[in-house]
Structure formats: C-alpha cells, structure tokens
A and B are shown apart, each in its own frame.
Chain A
C-alpha cells in the first residue's frame, strides 16, 4: 500500500532533497578549477561522486512523489512502471557514486578503464535488482558500503588513515537510511525523520565546508 500524502512530510522531503542536491552541485563546481589545473584522477572521481549522488537523491524524490501521487493528483500516471524505472535510475546512480568514491581513494592501484567497465556492469546489475525488488536494493547498497570500507582500508597507498573516511562512511550510511525511509514506505515518526535529515544535511554541509576551504 502506498504511503498517505502528507503535505508537511512531502515539503520536508522536498526541502531536504533540494538542499542535498544543491550542496552536491556546489561541491562539483567548486572542484572544477583544481581538476582543470591538475587533471588528477582522484579529484575527477571525487567530483563525479557528488554528481551521481545529487542525481540519485533527485530520482529518489521522484520515486517518492510517484508513490504518493495517487492521493494527491487526479491525473493518470503509470505508477506500476514509473516506480521501478525511478528505482532503476536511483540504483544505478547511487552505485556509481559509491564506486567513484572508492576509486577516488585507490585509483593508483587500478587502471581507470578496468574500473569504469566493471563498475558500469555492477551498477547496471544493482539497478536492475533495485527495480525488481526494493529490499534487494537496500541489501546491495549496504553490502557495497561494507565492501567500500574494506577495500579502502586494504588498498590505500598511504598508511595514514584519513579522518575523512569516517565522513564518507556516514554519508553512505545516511543515504541507506534515506532509502529505508522512502523505499519500503516506513511510517516513521516525524521528529525522528527530521533529525535524521538534519544530520544528513550537516554531513553534506561539513563536506562542502572542507571543499570550500581548499578551493577558495
């Protein structure tokens, strides 16, 4: 059964998504100059992470809007088809975001061609799985997050473990939480949802702050 349309909840969801997408776009454009100057592969994949992530959040919102639109709009929308299609895009984009972030930290170990082909195949498989079954989507994203942590720890070239990895970890944890809040339509308490979204925005803002510190 689709969730009930609540203007306040939807407004909050819309605001949350727009802020996150806006921050992702700003991070992407803020890092343009240092990428143009250096053509550094790590910076390239770091930028792409936020591009994919922003788009994933946007498709997540569209998916949510389609689910609740039957209580809200009188026009015909083929929800049966549109929902899985939006999940397909969300799955693809979020998987690419996670993979790009992994690769940005371990790019010296693999050729970018190998990475691009394998990540594209993996993202397509996960996207199809997401479209067929939302719970599988959540499981694959969680597995990917665990693999990301293990890989980044094992294959890093520098011995020092940057504190930023904790931030990356939180970023993806909150992405998975945001999927749990939308995909299986959990009737979660309004205040808890608000707190989770505020924390998620705070993580993005902190990342933006760190980026702007080096790109002024």
Chain B
C-alpha cells in the first residue's frame, strides 16, 4: 500500500519551478556543459514541452548556448542560473510559507 502511494507520489506532475530546477540541475551536474539532445533525454519531458521550457530558460537568462570550434552546440548555466539553483529551496519555502 505504502509502495503504491510512494509510486504515485513519485509519478505526480512536476510543477513549473520544479521542472526548471531539474533542467538546471542536470546542466550543472554535467559539468555545466551539455548538448541539447542529452538534456532533453535527462529532463524527462516531451520534445515540445522541452523546447517551451528551453525557450523560457533562455528568455529569463538562466541558460545560454555555446558553440565550440567544431560547431557543436552546448548549453551552459549563466550566473543567474547558478543563483536560481542556490536559492531554489528558499524560493520554494517562500512560496509555501506565503501560500502563493
């Protein structure tokens, strides 16, 4: 019974902030440099949802693209992205505490 509950808890839909956090964490954990395709795979999103989030992250200035000498595209975190990860728990606490 508890295992089923835990399974459903794990399977629940992630909210927006959680998805953003997960994507940024993947990038950071991959030495702050990852290609778009593995990032899509690790983020566990459909390609459509991934591209929506990716655009959002770029617009917010949390990630940036780097093209190396061989013209390969990499995604890295910006300072703002690192700050987001650093402050994530505080942000969640704030949202929860103020009922937002």
Task: Write the residues of chain A forming the contact surface with B, with a CB cutoff of 8 angstroms.
Answer: 31, 33-34, 36-40, 42-43, 46, 104-105, 107, 152, 156, 158, 162, 164-165, 210-211, 214-216
CB neighbors of A among B68-91 (8 A): 80, 83-84, 87, 90-91
User: Which of these, A37, A104, A152, A158, contacts B87 with CB under 8 Å?
Assistant: A37
User: Which of these, A34, A105, A107, A165, contacts B94 with CB under 8 Å?
Assistant: A34
- Bound together, the chains give a CA A200 to CA B41 distance in angstroms of 52
A210 and B97: CB pair below 8 A?
A: yes
B95 and A215: CB pair below 8 A?
A: no
Q: Is the interface of B mostly helix, strand, loop or mixed?
A: helix
A165 and B80: CB pair below 8 A?
A: no
Contact A164/B60 with A34-B90, A37-B84, A38-B84 known, Cβ cut-off 8 Å: no
User: Size band of the B side of the interface?
Assistant: 10 to 19
Decide yes or no whether B45 CB sits under 8 A from chain A: no
Q: How far is the CB of A36 from chain B (nearest CB, A)?
A: 8
A215 and B99: CB pair below 8 A?
A: no
- Bound together, the chains give a CA A60 to CA B99 distance in angstroms of 28
A214 and B100: CB pair below 8 A?
A: no
Decide yes or no whether B98 CB sits under 8 A from chain A: yes
A105 and B100: CB pair below 8 A?
A: yes
User: Which of these, A33, A40, A215, A216, contacts B100 with CB under 8 Å?
Assistant: A40
- Bound together, the chains give a CA A42 to CA B99 distance in angstroms of 9
User: Which of these, B80, B84, B100, contacts A42 with CB under 8 Å?
Assistant: B100
Q: How far is the CB of A102 from chain B (nearest CB, A)?
A: 11
Q: How far is the CB of A160 from chain B (nearest CB, A)?
A: 9
User: Which of these, A37, A152, A214, contacts B93 with CB under 8 Å?
Assistant: A214
Q: How far is the CB of A158 from chain B (nearest CB, A)?
A: 7
Contacts of A156 in B (CB 8 A): 99
B91 and A37: CB pair below 8 A?
A: yes
